[in-house]
Amino acid sequence: MQRALIEAEKAIAQEEVPIGAVIVDALTGELVAVAHNEMEGQKDPTAHAELLVIQKACAETGQGRLSNCDIYVTLEPCPMCAQAISFARLRRLYFGAYDIKGGGVNHGARIFNATSCHHIPEVIGGIEEHACAKLLTDFFEKKR
């Protein structure tokens, strides 16, 4: 999660909402891909850190399924990203801050609770929660 926080901090320099994500090979511990939110720069509402890191990890490994990998994200994924995590067959999802308004794991559409969700990763939320949330609150306070 420290590495995901570093990615999130990089986003700030680009005036992007600070959300970072990394994918790690769970067997070797090696870093497979890193990404941060790029919605502003790419003018693309789908350029969330999680989608980008999954796309990078698939390109890196040449595989559409990342069953031996875990994803770390600084914020609870939205429904779009939660579904992408399921499609990518990621083994575990570790996330930092909870997202009451936009989250799709513990909140809102609760993607993994749908009976039609074929792959449900193990979910561990609240990792480095304070640091992950502080990056976001500081960012939006400065924006005001």
Active-site residue numbers?
50
Residues 31-60 that bind its own copies (CB under 8 A): 39-40, 42-46, 51, 54-55, 58-59
Answer yes or no: are the C-beta atoms of 46 and 35 closer than 8 Å. Answer: no
Q: How many residues bind its own copies (CB under 8 A)?
A: 39
Q: Which two tokens stand for residue 124?
A: 């561990």
Residues 89-118 that bind its own copies (CB under 8 A): 89, 101-104, 107-111, 114-117
What whole-number distance in Å separates Cα of residue 38 and Cα of residue 50? 11
CA 118 to chain CA centroid, nearest Å:
19
- Going from the C-alpha of 59 to that of each of 3, 20, 92, 117, 124, the distances in angstroms are 20, 19, 20, 24, 26
Nearest distance in Å: CB 43, its own copies: 4
User: Whose Cβ is closer to its own copies: residue 5's or residue 93's?
Assistant: 93
Q: Which residues of this chain interact with its own copies, rule CB under 8 A?
A: 39-40, 42-46, 51, 54-55, 58-59, 62-65, 78-84, 87-89, 101-104, 107-111, 114-117
